[in-house]
Amino acid sequence: MLRLTDLKLPLEHTDEALHSAIVLRLGIAASDLLSFNVYKRSYDARKRGHILLIYSLDVNVSNEAAVLLRLANDVHIGPSPDTTYQFVTDAPSEDFLRPIVIGFGPCGLFAALILAQMGLKPIVLERGKAVRERTKDTWGLWRKRVLEPESNVQFGEGGAGTFSDGKLYSQIKDPQHHGRKVLTEFVKAGAPAEILYVSKPHIGTFKLVTMIEQMRQNIIDLGGEVRFNQRVKDLHIENDQVRGVTLASGEQIRSDHVVLAIGHSARDTFKMLHARGVYVEAKPFSIGFRAEHPQSMIDACRFGPQAGHPILGAADYKLVHHAKNGRSVYSFCMCPGGTVVASSSEPEMVVTNGMSQYSRNERNANSAIVVGITPEDYPGGPLAGIDFQRQWESQAYLLGGSNYDAPAQLIGDFIAQRPSSALGSVEPSYKPGVKLGELDASLPEYAIAAIREALPAFNKQIRGYAMNDAILTGVETRTSSPIRIKRGADMQSINTKGLYPAGEGAGYAGGILSAGVDGIKIAEAVALSLKAAAAR
Ligand code: FAD
């Protein structure tokens, strides 16, 4: 099989046109093209009237060696790399203490799945509920203003990304093709096969729910255990080596290998780790608002006359502005055709985020518009970023009217520095609701100034972005973890052996795909360590 990349065809083309383009590009007779499949498909929409599809293809030809030799200098043609996942080891034949995985978000899910596939029978401990029950609790906040602190958008089976846009791409370096393993497992669990080849795959919320249940069953079928409502409240550490955990129920479980895949909102657990002497440090993250615009406006601006084409779907965008006060403002976690969702995990706090369904056919596009901040903005030690987040989340709760409504302002009013009193053409999607007013008091002054400057600048890239009626809803504070739980090359905490900080909460991933990839790497490190320990 050979890999042919960067093959461009117009958006509207026939299967025959693709066939002919391959034949032409490889300089072979049509009869020598035996078969092909699409490895990746992206688009180039820089010229709106002339959108191109760009293919990477795996092609089966007669006399492949001769074709590769003839085209040896062509950087877009070479042998197809083997992207199938190879396990690094298997289970020891002797008895071993089972590894523990704390947290069942994408990182914990993939760590547990790979451990289970290697025969290592992991024990998964998840503080929240199984995904169906969790869905009811999450809707409880959105519909009835009732927050369940252990079962919400952040906590429970599937982790933070369950009620999400389900975007499955990342900019991480992935030389071992672990991302492919993540996508392949998702497809086996029921995701659409297209996620394997479209350049910006997404699956939306409802599909994720059933996929996660299927993957949990796979882990159990392979001898793993998945336990819900099991908050890990303490770690046992002896001579800088982890020896097990204590649950909130008081139960103790022994293990010399504990994966810490707790996400960015486990503030109590961060505190416990710090108190236990596990090395943690403050790290940069971002704060801002969710912006909502009509999706049709974004589609028209990005795709022009080809807006609405089924291959293109609802358009996304990516924006950056470097403000005069030295801050960078950027769009983050953009959700085409989606809704803004209440994402708090603590009472009397308001946090925004975004989600969508697979169809992405809601009226509004939403995206976080955030400002990068560093530990210099919240001095006070490794956990100071958590206090900083809480300060602004509580403030948003007050500004929203102390009933889980979120504070909001029309973009036109925000730029003109006048309070909003009535909605215009854009209906905010945040549930339970928004309270219109002024957002200036909802974030630090430097963030407000930077966002105020950025919005008109974004309007130059997407005409209409600074439209009067678009909505800003606050506050977006959980963009990534405020701490890093530092690990060494062996993937273990730098001062606590046997503890494997992983995923977004530890500061080693940002998003579903990268958290899944990190979970795989952690599982490999745990498996190798277990095998070596058993051989001693
Ligand atoms: P998490 O998913 O946060 O999982 C951590 C798990 O650990 C949780 O289930 C939690 O309950 C559990 N836990 C915490 N403490 C304990 C404890 N002490 N004991 C037991 N269990 C514990 N990313 C994308 O790539 N694409 C998107 O479209 C996208 N949309 C998003 C939409 C929303 C609304 C949100 C909130 C996030 C979104 N993200 C998205 C981000 C993505 O969800 C996260 O990056 C990802 O889930 C991180 O994975 P993780 O496994 O590291 O942590």
Taking residues 141-170, what's their average pLDDT? 93
Asked if the model's pLDDT at residue 436 lies above 90, the reply is yes
Taking residues 16-20, what's their average pLDDT? 97
The 10s digit of each residue's pLDDT in 229-259 is: 999 999 999 999 999 999 999 999 999 999 9
- Whether residues 26 and 126 fall in one domain: no
The CATH number given to whatever domain includes residue 20 is: 3.30.70.2700
CA distance 198 to 88: 28
On whether residue 95 sits in a domain, the answer given is no
- What's the mean pLDDT when you consider all of the chain? 96
Q: Are 322 and 310 in contact (CB under 8 A)?
A: no
The DSSP bridge pattern shows strands 232-238 and 285-294 to be unpaired
**The predicted structure's pLDDT at residue 377:** 97
- The boundaries of the domain holding residue 15 are 2-79
The CATH number given to whatever domain includes residue 196 is: 3.50.50.60
**The predicted structure's pLDDT at residue 44:** 95
The 10s digit of each residue's pLDDT in 179-200 is: 999 999 999 999 999 999 998 8
Taking residues 270-282, what's their average pLDDT? 98
On whether residue 89 sits in a domain, the answer given is no
**The predicted structure's pLDDT at residue 315:** 95
ipTM: 0.99
**Which of 459, 476, 493 is at the close of a domain?**
476
On whether residue 218 sits in a domain, the answer given is yes
C-alpha 103 to ligand 1 mean position (Å) = 9
- Whether residues 311 and 391 fall in one domain: yes
On whether residue 498 sits in a domain, the answer given is yes
Q: Are 118 and 87 in contact (CB under 8 A)?
A: yes
State which of 124, 155, 484 you would mutate to test the pocket of ligand 1, scoring each by most atoms of that ligand within 8 A of its C-beta: 155
**The predicted structure's pLDDT at residue 297:** 97
Asked if the model's pLDDT at residue 358 lies above 90, the reply is no
Nearest residue (CA) to ligand 1, atom 11: 155
Asked if the model's pLDDT at residue 122 lies above 90, the reply is yes
CA distance 275 to 270: 9
Ligand 1: residues with CB < 6 A are: 102-108, 125-128, 153-156, 159-161, 163-167, 231-232, 261-263, 266, 269, 333, 341, 343, 353-355, 503-505, 509-513, 515
Count how many residues are written for the chain.
Answer: 536
- Whether residues 352 and 470 fall in one domain: yes
- Whether residues 262 and 305 fall in one domain: no
- Whether residues 151 and 263 fall in one domain: yes
- Whether residues 295 and 230 fall in one domain: no
On whether residue 84 sits in a domain, the answer given is no
**Which of 476, 504, 521 is at the close of a domain?**
476
- Whether residues 29 and 42 fall in one domain: yes
C-alpha 126 to ligand 1 mean position (Å) = 12
- Whether residues 450 and 318 fall in one domain: yes
**The predicted structure's pLDDT at residue 206:** 80
State which of 101, 114, 126 you would mutate to test the pocket of ligand 1, scoring each by most atoms of that ligand within 8 A of its C-beta: 126
Taking residues 395-410, what's their average pLDDT? 98
Taking residues 446-453, what's their average pLDDT? 98
- Whether residues 273 and 377 fall in one domain: no
On whether residue 92 sits in a domain, the answer given is no
**The predicted structure's pLDDT at residue 425:** 97
Q: Phi, psi at residue 79, to the nearest 5°?
A: -65, 145
Taking residues 374-387, what's their average pLDDT? 96
Q: Are 464 and 290 in contact (CB under 8 A)?
A: no
Asked if the model's pLDDT at residue 509 lies above 90, the reply is yes
CA distance 423 to 98: 56
**The predicted structure's pLDDT at residue 208:** 87
**The predicted structure's pLDDT at residue 357:** 86
Taking residues 499-516, what's their average pLDDT? 97
CA distance 500 to 255: 12
Taking residues 469-488, what's their average pLDDT? 98
Taking residues 129-139, what's their average pLDDT? 95
On whether residue 85 sits in a domain, the answer given is no
- Whether residues 249 and 273 fall in one domain: yes
Q: How many domains does the chain have?
A: 3
Residue 449 banded pLDDT, cuts 50, 70, 90? very high
**The predicted structure's pLDDT at residue 112:** 98
C-alpha 307 to ligand 1 mean position (Å) = 33
- Whether residues 238 and 318 fall in one domain: no
Asked if the model's pLDDT at residue 48 lies above 90, the reply is no
Residue 288 banded pLDDT, cuts 50, 70, 90? very high
- Whether residues 307 and 364 fall in one domain: yes
On whether residue 239 sits in a domain, the answer given is yes
Asked if the model's pLDDT at residue 207 lies above 90, the reply is no
**Which of 428, 452, 476 is at the close of a domain?**
476
Asked if the model's pLDDT at residue 138 lies above 90, the reply is yes
